[in-house]
Every structure is written in C-alpha cells, then in structure tokens.
Amino acid sequence: MKKIIAIAALILAPTVALAGGDHQKHNPVQYKGPVELTNLTQLLADSSMFTEQKVVVEGNLVRQINHEKFIFSDGQAEVQVELDDDINLAQPLDATTQVRLFGEFEGGNTPEIEVDRVQVL
C-alpha cells in the first residue's frame, strides 16, 4: 500500500507543481516597429457573412458601446471591435489614443473584430 501511495505521489507531483498558479506573467513582446496592416476599407468591402480573417489594424477607439465593445476607426472606415476579457492595459485609453489591434475579423450583419491584444502606439 505504501508503494502505491509513493508511486501516485511521484506521478502527481509535477501536475500539482505546475497547477500552482501563474508564477510568471505572460508578457508578449511589445514590438513598436512596422507590421503588415489590414486595410479596413478593403476588408469591409470584401467581407461576407462567412468571412473570418486574422487582422492587424491601427487607429483609435472612437466610441464605447458597452464594457467590452467599441467602435474603432482607422481614419477611413469604422468597425465594431470586442476586446477580450483578459486584456489589461497599464494606461487608460481615450478617443485620441493611437492603438494597434491584433485579432480576428468576422463578417456578417455587424462586422466585428474580436481583439486578442491591444498595443498603445
């Protein structure tokens, strides 16, 4: 019986150690250089109900709809965006804050970008 308990403890020890919490916060690289941006006007013109595409856009969150939905403008076009719940920024944003959004565009009746990451420029 003691051998079974010892073997079970050896098997479960790594699992328990890893499940102990987030000891190191995941901090993605905050690259400030050029990236390939998606043209929002073109994206909206070419979208359909079935469009799903990874995008990177730059502009401003011009209006808040609710706690997680905003209207985003790149200066040429506007689209609704939904910020992921786990996005935490060190500074507040306003309508003049230039941001780069990384996410997935989904077409349909209300085209929307589901934002995974926000980078303040």
Has residue 81 got a pLDDT over 80? yes
For residue 5, CA distances in Å to 14, 15, 58 come to: 15, 16, 57
Domain of residue 44, CATH code = 2.40.50.200
Task: Give the count of domains, the chain.
Answer: 1
Residues 62-71 have pLDDT tens digits of: 999 998 999 9
Structural domain includes residue 78: yes
The first and second tokens of residue 86, run together, are 């786990």
Structural domain includes residue 9: no
Burial of 107 (0-12, 13-18, 19+ CB in 10 A): middle
Structural domain includes residue 84: yes
Average pLDDT rounded to a whole number, residues 63-88: 93
Pairwise pLDDT comparison (81 vs 4), residue with the higher score: 81
Q: pLDDT band at residue 121, thresholds of 50, 70 and 90?
A: confident
Structural domain includes residue 65: yes
Has residue 85 got a pLDDT over 70? yes
Integer Cα distance of 54 and 85 in angstroms: 18
The residue segments making up the domain with residue 114 are 40-120
Structural domain includes residue 12: no
Integer Cα distance of 88 and 85 in angstroms: 8
